Amino acid sequence: MAFAIQFLIDVLSLGGAYALMALGLVIIYGILRLVNFAYGELIMVAGYTMFLTSGSGLPWLLMAVLAVAMAVVFGILTDYVAFRPVRAKSVTAVLITSFAFSNLLQNAALLFISPRPRNVPLPDIFSQTVSIGGAITPVRNLITIAASIVLLAAVAFLMRKTTLGIAMRAAATNFTMARMLGVPANLIISSAFALSGFLAGVVGLLWIGRIGTVVPGVGLEPLLVAFIATVIGGMRSLPGAVVGGFLLALIDTTLNYTLSQDLLKFRDAFTFSLVILILLWRPEGLIKGPASGQRT
């Protein structure tokens, strides 16, 4: 029983974080048909904001809010710096600018802060553990589960019940038609980047809360995870991103529990093999996106 609870908490907490990461990536992809490779750096920005404000004596919660706000600001900045100037040109141009922006941010962190890991302030509760039905689990896992439930519900509400959200879904299917109804393209794209930044910020807190430090390359793994989760789930579907995130977490956690110590260092190889099998079975991902679509 304890084992089952432990397993479930591990899958849900990892899956929640993965789902949020994937959602942040797919929101941009859905509308612009472009992978934002600077997405991982938004997580890094949140981490370094925590590090830079750590000596300020601010309460932790305020620092966290600031960190998320900075990720949102940098998300919108990504749109203005890397996407908007070349959006109408070509997919290749936007891909390269998004890589360039990612590199620029990473190198700025390397140059102006440090290549070495920096400690990020974490409230005590992040390092405490609790016992649930005999299973001992870090409280931060429960926080991650709670945060992902709240955020997934909030995103679902935004996308289904608000005019902005419905307009974003419409723009993801047919951008030109949405514009012909008066939906402003720039507002939709900036909103998508802001939402993506917000998710990256929260993921940053949860992710860095696991490791306790921030380095310039901290965003690489979340970017990769988000990318794989969206590929499994279906690049164009928001529910697909969530399903993909949880499925990837289930695979990772199961392998963690079952592989022997010698094999554990090859865990990613096993994960990717399974991902390949899933893609052979469902090349378009588990959940298909909208039927048609085009870029601006």
Instruction: Count the site residues for another protein by CB under 8 A.
Output: 20
Q: Is 84 in the site for another protein (CB under 8 A)?
A: no
Q: Could you say which DSSP state residue 259 is in?
A: S
Measure the CA angle with vertex 112, ends 107 and 114; round to 5°. Answer: 80
Q: Smaller CB distance to another protein: residue 261 or 292?
A: 292
Tell me the window of 103-111, 177-185, 199-207, 263-271 that interacts with another protein (CB under 8 A): 177-185
Q: Shortest distance, CB of residue 185 to another protein, whole angstroms? A: 7
Establish if 185 lies at the interface with another protein (CB under 8 A).
yes
Can you tell me the distance from the alpha carbon of 139 to that of 150, in angstroms, rounded to the nearest whole number?
A: 17
1: contact with another protein by CB under 8 A: no
Among candidates 269, 243, 240, 234, which has minimal Cα distance to 255?
A: 269
Q: Give the Cα separation of 158 and 209 in Å (integer).
A: 27
User: Considering only residues 56, 119, 128, 176, which one is a binding residue for another protein as defined by CB under 8 A?
Assistant: 176
> Is residue 182 at the binding interface for another protein, with CB under 8 A as the rule?
yes
User: Least distance (Å) from another protein to the CB of residue 80?
Assistant: 18
Beta bridge partners of 184: none
Site for another protein in 133-152 (CB under 8 A): none
Q: Is 271 in the site for another protein (CB under 8 A)?
A: no
Complex with another protein: residue 62 or 187, whichever CB lies closer: 187
Q: Which is nearer to another protein, 131 or 176 (CB)?
A: 176
Please identify which residue in 59, 85, 184, 212 interacts with another protein, judged by CB under 8 A: 184
| Distance (Å, whole) CA 274 – CA 272 | 5
| Integer angstrom CA distances of residue 56 from 63, 69, 121 | 9, 17, 11
**What is the nearest approach in angstroms of another protein to the Cβ of residue 160?**
9
Report the 10 Å Cβ neighbour count for 1: 8
CB 172 within 8 A of CB 293: yes
Q: Which is nearer to another protein, 185 or 220 (CB)?
A: 185
In sequence order, what are the beta bridge partners of 154? none
Q: Give the three-state DSSP class for 88.
A: coil
Q: How far, CA to CA in Å, does 195 sit from each of 81, 88, 136, 231, 268?
A: 17, 22, 34, 20, 29
Place of tokens 């920005």: 45
Phi, psi of 219 (to 5 degrees): -85, -10
> What are the tokens at 221?
């793994």
Q: Which of 92, 112, 116, 180 binds another protein (CB under 8 A)?
A: 180
For 232, other C-beta atoms within 10 Å of its C-beta total 25
104 vs 158, which CB is nearer to another protein?
A: 158
Place of tokens 């085009």: 294
* Residue 179 found at the interface with another protein (CB under 8 A): yes
Does the protein bind another protein through residue 173 (CB under 8 A)? Answer: yes
256 binds another protein (CB under 8 A): no
Does 174 bind another protein (CB under 8 A)? Our answer is yes
Among 26, 46, 183, 287, binds another protein (CB under 8 A): 183
Closer CB to another protein, 163 or 261, in the complex: 163
**Minimum CB distance to another protein smaller for 169 or for 267:** 169
- Which residues of this protein are in contact with another protein, per CB under 8 A? 163, 166-167, 169-170, 173-174, 176-185, 290-292
